[in-house]
Chain A
């Protein structure tokens, strides 16, 4: 569709559609990144906890570190949609 022939409504709808895609990508890609980050840490953390139960707290701490990334993604998505 040529840009010139769009009505205002169509342009608004298109814009909000792109916003939704952007928000989805923000959460989705951030989630993938977090997953990759937690992959190695999680495996090592489970190993460490199996060796020594006392490691649980520290292991949990390390495992959830990359989780912040997905929260950033979610925050960006919320900002995209609601601001």
Chain B
């Protein structure tokens, strides 16, 4: 909690004969994060080179390439394929040897045939298009060629023209352009060409077919039909093959991906002529397990050692270490940035607060149940997407439940009241019949939101102090940074004390408990507030005087930013109530009172407004309810302490879906 999983730096060394068994063993456990060896020619590393892949790597990669190309023809990928059954890797490897050439042959002959058909389709279509303008000219196609002393011009032209030399001309005005065909003696060709060019002539190629234009077009149309049929047949056969082999291919892809990754692993090791060293990280609690496993696999012919040097200097991969209920919120963390190894990991705060804030904003039983239904509908689709989809599903589920619970507390159901009065804050606005005397507790909502902001900002600053203490090098710089964080908190609290010394918030709102107020002791409170602000400013200025410029944004503006929780929520309620008012009070109720044909139409319009309006509000609720809490965490909370940019822990090994060793 608040800490990534502890990691240990491990070095594994052995003679090259043991490489295969070490790689296999590490791959099997899927916990070792390899740090790639970079050959920089540093002193002390003479004779150490990057390793070479195992012998079969080339062949494996080749096979993998073949499978990927077939998969791209089939338009499938292992990630979109669902697991039917786990098959033993050995049978898959046998299938790769025996079946792959056959499948590849079938698929490639089909794709060649299909692409030939496609080429021919394009040619036919082009010929038909080229012949189209000639259809309007009453000449047979043979007449356009085969002359010794005549030149033929054919093409589009802007307007008809009189040609000054002897010629034969056919001009057809048309919508797509005016088409002209000119026959003239070759000796006048240059002259005619110039005159045509002046009229904006664009030549087209002369037909090579014979007979009438209609016959030629007919011929190409028939051929087009035939080749289109061939293409369809090929596509159908490919779909058939896909249905037959998609599972096998996914399994082959997986097995080969594993094999290739293993075969190419030495590229990440440091090797000498006789030995190799693997540098990497594993979770601290698995050191003994992996050491024992390696010793067993190699018959004690491996040297495994823990490097105890300072972790700050080296890049430690970061794996979250959160209780299972907080795992889904890691999605939001990774969207921002993975925490650094020594940094506080705020995932758990996000995990708790995101659904709460979502519910606080949307807070409507009807919408909550709709989100719940949405989550259940999307369930199958999301769970198929793997770990990320599962996390997304839980996030949506949490938000939906929280929205429903807040709906019960606010007493809201699609903008209308539930049979009881609101339990926490009333958000019913004076909109619509019977709501004229509604008294929404707007000020209470705003104050509670801003107070939440104060808590968030203060906690963020404390986290900032802890992070500076842990991550900075000891010295005056670290002390200044920590003091500056404290200074910011002092300024915020000072401003708050000053506000509370002149204004009694209890006058504006009713909470079951009294809010602290200092109006009784304005002088003392004023002095304390002023001292806090001055001391805070000094602390901030010691680190960087320019930071003082940020006082308005970093304190007041960030605190007030939390008012969005109340404001966005109220706007959602307002939209729901306005929709209800428009649909029910303006259309449905008057029509029900006087039911006739027009009345029925009005009711239909009313129902449509009701459905569309609430659909819009549900969508806006997702957007507003999700985006605003996330933004509050990212902008107002994280900027106080969080840097991120940690290396993502990627254990060596592939999670298998289709095959097992």
Chain B residues near A82: list those with CB within 8 A: 440, 442-443
Residues of B within 8 A of A81 (CB): 442
A78 to chain B, nearest CB (A): 5
In the docked arrangement, what's the CA distance between A81 and B443, Å?
11
In the bound complex, CA of A67 to CA of B635 (Å):
11
Interface window among B95-103, B563-571, B606-614: B563-571
Which residues of the other chain, A, contact B335 by a CB distance below 8 angstroms?
56-57, 60
Q: Is B295 an interface residue (CB 8 A)?
A: no
Does B560 sit within 8 A of A, measured CB to CB?
Answer: yes
Q: Does A64 make an interface contact (CB < 8 A)?
A: yes
Q: How far is the CB of A67 from chain B (nearest CB, A)?
A: 7
A71 contact set on B, CB distance < 8 A: 560-561, 563-564, 567-568
A78 to B560 CA separation, bound complex (whole angstroms)? 14
| CB-based contact A57/B336 at 8 Å | yes
Q: Which residues of A contact B631 (CB under 8 A)?
A: 60-61, 64, 67
Check A72 for interface membership: any CB of B closer than 8 A.
yes
A64 in contact with B561 (CB, 8 Å): no
Contact with B along A48-83 (1 / 0, CB 8 A): 000000001110110011011001101100110111
Query: Which applies to chain A's interface (DSSP): helix, strand, loop or mixed?
Result: helix
How far is it, in angstroms, between the C-alpha of A71 and the C-alpha of B631 when the chains are bound?
Answer: 13
Q: Is the CB of A78 within 8 A of B567?
A: yes
Nearest-neighbor residue (CB-CB) of B565 within chain A: A71
* Segment 3-42 of A: residues with Cβ below 8 Å from B: none
Q: Complex: how many Å from CA A68 to CA B570?
A: 16
Closest-by-CB residue of A relative to B557 is A68
Instruction: Give Cα A56–Cα B561 distance, bound, in whole angstroms.
Output: 22
B563 nearest CB neighbor, chain A only: A75
With a cutoff of 8 Å between Cβ atoms, the chain B residues found around residue A75 in the complex are 446, 560, 563, 567
Q: What residue in chain A is nearest B440 (Cβ atoms)?
A: A82
Contact-size category for B: 20 to 34
Query: Closest Cβ of chain B: how far from A54's Cβ, in Å?
Result: 8
Q: Determine the residue in chain B with the shortest Cβ distance to A73.
A: B567
**Interface residue B508 (Cβ < 8 Å from any Cβ of A):** yes
Docked CA distance A72–B563 (Å) = 8
User: Contact between A60 and B634 (Cβ–Cβ < 8 Å)?
Assistant: yes
**CA distance in complex: A74, B571 (Å):** 9
Q: Contacts A75-B563, A78-B567 known; A64 to B442 CB distance under 8 Å?
A: no
B550-589 interface bits toward A, Cβ cutoff 8 Å, 1 = contact, 0 = none: 0000000100110110111011000000000000000000
* A5 vs B566: C-alpha distance when bound (angstroms): 41
| Nearest CB of A to B242, in Å | 29
Docked-complex contact A78 and B561, CB < 8 angstroms: no
On whether A57 and B571 interact (CB within 8 A), knowing A75-B563, A82-B443, the answer reads no
Q: Is B595 an interface residue (CB 8 A)?
A: no
The answer for the CA separation of A61 and B630 in the assembled complex, in Å, is 9
A74-B571, A75-B567, A82-B443 are known contacts. Are A68 and B561 too (CB-CB below 8 A)?
A: yes
Q: Please measure, in the bound complex, the distance between the C-alpha atom of A71 and the C-alpha atom of B568, giving whole angstroms.
A: 8
Expressed in whole angstroms, the Cα–Cα distance for A71 and B571 within the complex equals 11
Report the contact-size class of chain A (Cβ under 8 Å from the partner): 10 to 19
Tell me the smallest distance from the CB of B591 to a CB of chain A, in Å. Answer: 29
With both beta carbons as reference points, the residue of chain A lying nearest to B337 in the complex is identified as A57
0 or 1 for each of B619-661: is its CB under 8 Å from A? (1 = yes): 0000000010001001100000000000000000000000000
Chain A residues contacting B570 (CB-CB under 8 Å) are: 78
Which residue of chain B lies nearest to A75 when distances are taken between CB atoms in the complex?
B563
- Given A56-B335, A64-B627, decide whether A78 and B446 contact each other with a Cβ distance below 8 A: yes
| Cβ contact of B635, chosen from A61, A72, A74, A79, cutoff 8 A | A61
Of the residues B336, B508, B560, B567, contact of A83 by C-beta under 8 Å: B508
With contacts A57-B336, A60-B634, A64-B635 taken as known, whether A72 is within 8 angstroms of B443 at the C-beta atoms is no
> What residues on A are CB-neighbors of B564 within 8 Å?
68, 71, 74
Given A56-B335, A57-B336, A57-B634, residue A83 in contact with residue B563 (CB < 8 A): no
A74: shortest Cβ distance to chain B, in Å? 4
Min C-beta distance of A77 to chain B, whole Å: 9
Question: Which of A56, A61, A75, A79 has the largest number of chain B CB atoms within 10 A?
Answer: A75
A75 to B634, CA, bound (A): 21
Please judge, given known A-B contacts A64-B635, A68-B557, A71-B567, whether A78 and B336 are in contact too, CB under 8 Å. Answer: no
Q: How far is the CA of A83 from the CA of B570 in the complex (A)?
A: 15
Structural contact, A74 and B443, CB atoms closer than 8 A: no
Structural contact, A61 and B634, CB atoms closer than 8 A: yes
A58 to B335, CA, bound (A): 9
- Looking at the assembled complex, report how far the CB atom of B440 sits from the nearest CB atom of chain A, in whole angstroms: 7
Q: How far is the CB of A25 from chain B (nearest CB, A)?
A: 16
B440: A residues at CB distance < 8 A = 82
- In chain B between 162 and 206, which residues have their CB closer than 8 angstroms to a CB of chain A? none
CA distance A68 to B554 in the complex (A): 13
Q: Nearest CB to that of A81 among chain B residues?
A: B442
Could you tell me the distance between the alpha carbons of A60 and B337 in the complex, rounded to whole angstroms? 12
B560: A residues at CB distance < 8 A: 68, 71-72, 75
Contact present for B634 and A74 (CB under 8 Å)? no
Chain B residues lying within 8 Å of A61, measured Cβ to Cβ, are 336, 631, 634-635
* Residues of the A chain whose Cβ atoms lie less than 8 Å from the Cβ of B567: 71, 74-75, 78
Q: Which residues of A contact B571 (CB under 8 A)?
A: 74
Contacts of B566 in A (CB 8 A): 78
Taking A64-B627, A67-B631 as contacts, is the C-beta distance between A78 and B442 under 8 angstroms?
yes
- Tell me which residues from 434 to 458 in chain B have a Cβ below 8 Å from any Cβ of chain A: 440, 442-443, 446
Q: Which residue of B lies closest to A72 (CB)?
A: B560
| Bound CA span A82–B567, Å | 13
In angstroms, Cα B567 to Cα A81, docked, is 13
User: In the complex, A74→B440 CA distance in Å?
Assistant: 15
* A57 partner residues in chain B, CB cutoff 8 A: 335-337, 634
Identify the B interface with A (CB < 8 A).
335-337, 440, 442-443, 446, 508, 557, 560-561, 563-564, 566-568, 570-571, 627, 631, 634-635
Give the 4 A-B residue pairs with the shortest CB-CB distance, closest first.
Answer: A57-B336, A82-B442, A74-B567, A71-B564
What are 11 A-to-B residue pairs whose CB atoms are below 8 Å? A56-B335, A58-B337, A60-B335, A60-B631, A64-B627, A65-B635, A71-B561, A74-B564, A75-B563, A81-B442, A82-B440
14 more A-B residue pairs beyond the given contacts A56-B335, A68-B564, A83-B508, with a C-beta to C-beta distance below 8 A: A57-B634, A58-B336, A60-B634, A61-B336, A61-B634, A67-B631, A71-B561, A72-B563, A74-B571, A75-B567, A78-B442, A78-B570, A79-B446, A82-B442
